[in-house]
Amino acid sequence: MINYDNNNFYDFRRNSIINSSGRDAQPSPQSQSIGLRFKPCPSSWAFESLMVAIFLCLPLGLIAMYYSSKVENRYHTGRYDEAAAASAKARSFAIWGARIGAVAWIVVGWLCLTGSLHSHLFTITI
């Protein structure tokens, strides 16, 4: 929980503001007037980044995992814009990694089916 104003706290699990007795509370007019509002946490793209790194494109998947690890930390420290930017970077690296990896798998599969990859890889010269 984060101290919202003098007697109220923000509970991330319930996504609500509660007072010191544990009941839901409304933010004070003072906190509303200075613009204290909590935004939802952007997607971290951690699972997608991990899948891209394992199955499709390791370099771009690792970069996406780096940015996805920064999303929740920046969100919980109150840096919402930086969390959204890290989420956008993680998303773009994960999507590009998936695209490049899918094309690479298709090309390798095509080369294996046509036999041109097999003949070059397994030729033994003595």
Most confident of 6-10, 38-42, 66-70: 66-70
Instruction: Look at residue 119 in the predicted model and tell me its pLDDT.
Output: 59
Alpha-carbon gap, residue 81 to 8, rounded angstroms: 24
Residue 56 token pair: 């499709």
Determine how many CB atoms are found less than 10 A away from the CB of residue 83.
22
CA distance 88 to 109: 31
Band of pLDDT at residue 78, cut at 50, 70 and 90: confident
Q: What is the full DSSP assignment across 5-60?
A: SSSEEEETTTTEEEETTSSB-PPPHHHHHTT--PPPPPP--HHHHHHIIIII-HHH
- Find the range with the poorest average confidence among 14-18, 22-26, 31-35, 58-62: 31-35
57 has a pLDDT exceeding 80: yes
Helix (H) / strand (E) element for 2: namely strand 2-3
Residue 109: pLDDT band by 50, 70, 90 thresholds? confident
